[in-house]
Structure 1
Amino acid sequence: MAWDSGQYLKFEAQRTQPARDLAARIGREGVRDVLDVGCGPGNSSRVLAERFPGACVRGIDSSPEMIEAARARHPDLEFSLCDAGKDLGKLGQAFDVVFSNACIQWIPDHPRLVRELLGLLRPGGVLAVQTPMNYDEPIHTIIAGLVAGEKWQGAFKRPRIFYNLRPGQYFDLLADVAAGFDLWQTTYYHVLPSHAAIMEWYRGTGLRPYLGALPEADRAAFEADVFAQVIEQYPKQRDGRIIFRFPRFFFTATPKVA
Structure 2
Amino acid sequence: MEHWDAAQYLKFKQQRTRPAIDLAARIPLEHPEKIADIGCGPGNSTAVLKQRFPGAKIVGADSSADMIAAAEQAHPEMQFIQCDAQTELEKLGQDYDVVFSNACLQWIPDHPVMIPKMLQMLRPGGVLAVQIPVNYEEPIHKIISRLIQSPQWKGYFHRPQAMYHLTPATYYDLLSESAAEFHMWQTTYFHHMPSHAAILEWYRGTGLRPYLEVLPPEKQDAFSEAVLREVQRAYPLQKDGSLIFRFPRLFFLAFAKEQ
- Whether 1:92 aligns to 2:100 is no
Residue 41 of structure 2: aligned partner: 40
Deviations along 1:5-39, one digit per CA (max 9) or x if unpaired, are 00000000000000000000001122111100000
Separation in 1, partners of 2:157, 2:164: 18
- Aligned ranges for residues 30-179 of structure 1 at < 5 Å? 30-179=31-180
Contact 1:100–1:129 under 8 Å retained in 2? yes
1:2 Cα offset (Å): 1.3
Contiguous gaps of at least 5 residues in structure 1? none
Residue 240 of structure 1 aligns with an amino acid whose one-letter code is G
Separation in 2, partners of 1:118, 1:97: 9
Residue 70 of structure 2 aligns with an amino acid whose one-letter code is A
SS at 1:244's partner residue? strand
Contiguous gaps of at least 5 residues in structure 2? none
SS at 2:66's partner residue? helix
| TM-score for the superposition, normalised by structure 2 | 0.98
Contact 1:179–1:253 under 8 Å retained in 2? yes
1:85 Cα offset (Å): 0.5
1:40 Cα offset (Å): 0.2
SS at 2:240's partner residue? coil
SS at 1:87's partner residue? helix
Separation in 2, partners of 1:207, 1:107: 16
Cα RMSD (Å): 0.8
- Structure 1 outlier segments of 4+, above 6 Å: none
Residue 12 of structure 1: aligned partner: 13
Separation in 2, partners of 1:196, 1:21: 27
Deviations along 1:132-181, one digit per CA (max 9) or x if unpaired, are 00001000100011111111111112223432111000000000010000
Contact 2:37–2:45 under 8 Å retained in 1? yes
1:49 Cα offset (Å): 0.2
Separation in 2, partners of 1:117, 1:140: 28
Contact 1:160–1:210 under 8 Å retained in 2? no
Residue identity (%):
58
Residue 156 of structure 1 aligns with an amino acid whose one-letter code is F
Residue 229 of structure 2: aligned partner: 228
Separation in 2, partners of 1:203, 1:47: 24
Separation in 2, partners of 1:57, 1:11: 24
1:89 Cα offset (Å): 1.9
| TM-score for the superposition, normalised by structure 1 | 0.98
